[in-house]
Amino acid sequence: MTEMTLTDLDDNTGLLRKKIKDGESVTLTFRGKPVIAAVPMDQYEELVAAAERLAEIEAQSEAVPA
| Total number of domains in the chain | 1
Taking the C-alpha atoms of residue 53 and residue 6, their distance in angstroms, rounded to an integer, is 33
CATH number at residue 39: 3.40.1620.10
User: Is there a contact between 6 and 35 (Cβ–Cβ < 8 Å)?
Assistant: yes
Domain range for 41 is: 2-63
pTM: 0.73
Residues 29-47 have pLDDT tens digits of 999 999 999 999 999 999 9
9-33: average pLDDT: 95
Residue 20: per-residue pLDDT: 95
